[in-house]
Chains A and B, each alone.
Chain A
Amino acid sequence: MSALVRVQDLSMRFDVSPPWLNRVLERKPRQFVHAVDGVSFEIPKGKTLALVGESGCGKSTVARLLVGLYRPSAGAMAFDGRDTREWFAAKDAQALRKRLQMIFQDPYASLNPRWKVGAIVAEPLTEQAILTDPAAIRARVAELLTLVGLNPADSAKYPHQFSGGQRQRISIARALATAPEFLVCDEPTSALDVSVQAQVLNIMKDLQQQQGLTYLFISHNLAVVRHMADQIGVMYLGRLVELADKPTLFATPHHPYTRMLLDAIPDIHLTGRSRVAVQGEVPNPLNPPTGCSFHPRCPHANARCALERPALNELKGIRVACHAVEEGRI
């Protein structure tokens, strides 16, 4: 299966330097945050890649880079074989935008409170001139709302009349308006209650099966990711530390951070599995550790880890960026 989305050495650097005057007067240096630092992965058509990590790991930035909200500082992204950086700036950018869409995390901020639901869902259609006849647009909106389990009559209401879960469904309906092939989902259920989350995740899985959608699913919740993903990438401070298919990642996690994340998940069913104590906190992204960014918290770190950044190596079909794994120490 050829990859629909291919990302190579993607990097995004934000300039968070103090203002020019401060830099001159106080001799402060320019400061950069490498929100995304050399990330590479592929997503085959019809599959789901999940990116997991804690706050500040750059997964949301990767999502925004893929849909064109940011322009990368370095690296390449390709959609269906064509470089997206060039495509977004080209005249036929709308052809690309039609094929990929995004679902956001906050159900309360992702819908314009002053617009009716019908207008919100129809916006991609009207903006990209896919449909121009008002009756056709209304029909399509009704079809989309029914698809996500809402009533077509809801198109005359305002977002504040709906609950969080229903709003997220409206977001999904809007994302599907142009019949995209690729959906980037940035923590779509993190702000929802557990039972509502179940509804939304079920809808997303059903839609993927019905329409052959490809998902990039961002989350910090490994249990949700386990339910949704085919392949999982673990990110830490902007770097991809492990990339594996789901069964392998959960059965035999290699990178120490992945193991730590899995251990940190609360043991709901009280299976009494053994856990390694978790140490430390995510360091300040303005001042990341040298070498491997995880080494201050890693129980297996040695001298090399503090000096040399590990490369993402292939190992029996998975990719891990860890000196200890490469050297066979763990």
Chain B
Amino acid sequence: MSAQPTRWQRFFASDLWYSYRRSPVAVLSSLALLICVVCAVFAPQIAPHNPLDLATLNLMDATLPPAWDAEGSRKFLLGTDGYGRDILSALFYGARISLFIGLGSVLLSVLIGVTLGLLAGFVGGRVDGFIMRVCDVMLSFPSILVALLINGVGKALFPDAGETLAFSVLILAISLTGWVQYARTVRGSTLVERNKEYVQAARVVGVGSLRIMRRHVLPNVLGPVLVLATLQVALAIITEATLSFLGVGVPPTSPSLGTLIRIGNEFLYSGQWWITIFPGLMLVLISLSVNLLGDWLRDALNPRLH
């Protein structure tokens, strides 16, 4: 009797891994994303300079072009901004903040959306009606406006807020605009799964509704959520960047990619293009790889396309 294959062995033999190996888009975009994530996570260790430490800044180094330019310096590979901050290091730290906020808000969205969707689909009736009307209302507001509103309210309530609170409010603002998609998708899947016979079998045994929702239905409705979450990460990062660009996002002491783009925008017309273009490219790289990965995942998880 041969031993049961381990989890990893099963994964590498699965159709998902096979589809991944065969898709150059998936492999490339996941590699690009991996590099960005590594840079972001290990920014303090691998960034050449620390752009947040004001003591190390030297105004003499301000607005230096990238290293391959005649006036550039090897010390600052991608040039510096108006304060002498190294662009490359700022990219790493900025990506760190952007990814943190992006992932954090998506996680919160998923939590809120999946819970509400499960409840709406499983319980039905008035609860379902109420939650769906809330979704409809949420969808009629442009997400940026909602984020601005919550942000504004948060800042007004806590004017002396520290950085952590500012981040939390920002994450909350972005996640409150994104949960509706998850709720609707999960509700649809729950409505289908609820009528399946394995749920009825559990009821016959006497399993309570909450346990059925959590242990039986939830694992079966998470598939589309994964795809949606992947795509939403990009959207969340861009929303954060937009907010920061508008000046109402992260506090200026911890510049995210959006803030960097805003700061660099002012230098664009003086010909110092690198200050805004490189953060922009980094943002594009992250969003694009996440989007492409999400697209591949959606097609790979769809059994009918095989």
Number of A-B contacts (CB under 8 A): 56
Segment of B67-75, B192-200, B229-237 in the binding face: B192-200
Chain B residue nearest to A156 (CB atoms) is B4
Give the contact-size bracket for chain B. 10 to 19
Segment of B101-109, B133-141, B204-212, B291-299 in the binding face: B204-212
Closest Cβ of chain B to A239, distance in Å, is 25
Majority DSSP secondary structure for residues of A touching B: loop
A277 in the interface, Cβ–Cβ < 8 Å? no
B202 in the interface, Cβ–Cβ < 8 Å? yes
Taken together as a complex, chains A and B put the C-alpha atoms of A22 and B250 apart, in Å, by 50
Q: What are the interface flags for B136-174 relative to A under an 8 Å C-beta threshold, 1 for contact and 0 otherwise? A: 000000000000000000000000000000000000000
Is B205 touching A124 in the complex (CB atoms < 8 A)? yes
Chain A residue nearest to B203 (CB atoms) is A69
A31 in the interface, Cβ–Cβ < 8 Å? no
Q: What are the interface flags for A93-116 relative to B under an 8 Å C-beta threshold, 1 for contact and 0 otherwise? A: 110010001101110011111110
Is B206 touching A127 in the complex (CB atoms < 8 A)? yes
A153 in the interface, Cβ–Cβ < 8 Å? yes
Chain A residue nearest to B199 (CB atoms) is A112
Taken together as a complex, chains A and B put the C-alpha atoms of A235 and B204 apart, in Å, by 24
What chain B residues lie within 8 Å of A145 (beta carbons)?
none
Closest Cβ of chain B to A170, distance in Å, is 11
What chain A residues lie within 8 Å of B201 (beta carbons)?
102, 104, 110, 171, 174
Give the contact-size bracket for chain A. 20 to 34
B271 in the interface, Cβ–Cβ < 8 Å? no
B125 in the interface, Cβ–Cβ < 8 Å? no
What chain A residues lie within 8 Å of B202 (beta carbons)?
123, 127
Chain B residue nearest to A98 (CB atoms) is B206
A68 in the interface, Cβ–Cβ < 8 Å? yes
Taken together as a complex, chains A and B put the C-alpha atoms of A109 and B198 apart, in Å, by 6
Is A69 touching B219 in the complex (CB atoms < 8 A)? no
Is A128 touching B206 in the complex (CB atoms < 8 A)? yes
* Interface of chain A residues 65 through 120 with chain B (CB within 8 A): 67-69, 93-94, 97, 101-102, 104-106, 109-115
Q: Which of A94, A112, A174 contacts B206 (CB 8 A)?
A: A94
Known contacts A69-B203, A109-B196, A113-B220; 17 additional CB pairs below 8 A are: A64-B200, A67-B204, A68-B204, A69-B200, A97-B204, A104-B197, A104-B200, A104-B201, A111-B198, A112-B220, A115-B216, A123-B202, A123-B205, A127-B202, A128-B206, A153-B4, A171-B201
20 A-B contacts (beta carbon < 8 Å)? A64-B200, A69-B200, A69-B203, A93-B206, A97-B205, A101-B204, A102-B200, A105-B197, A109-B197, A109-B198, A110-B201, A112-B219, A115-B216, A127-B202, A127-B205, A128-B205, A153-B1, A153-B4, A157-B4, A171-B201
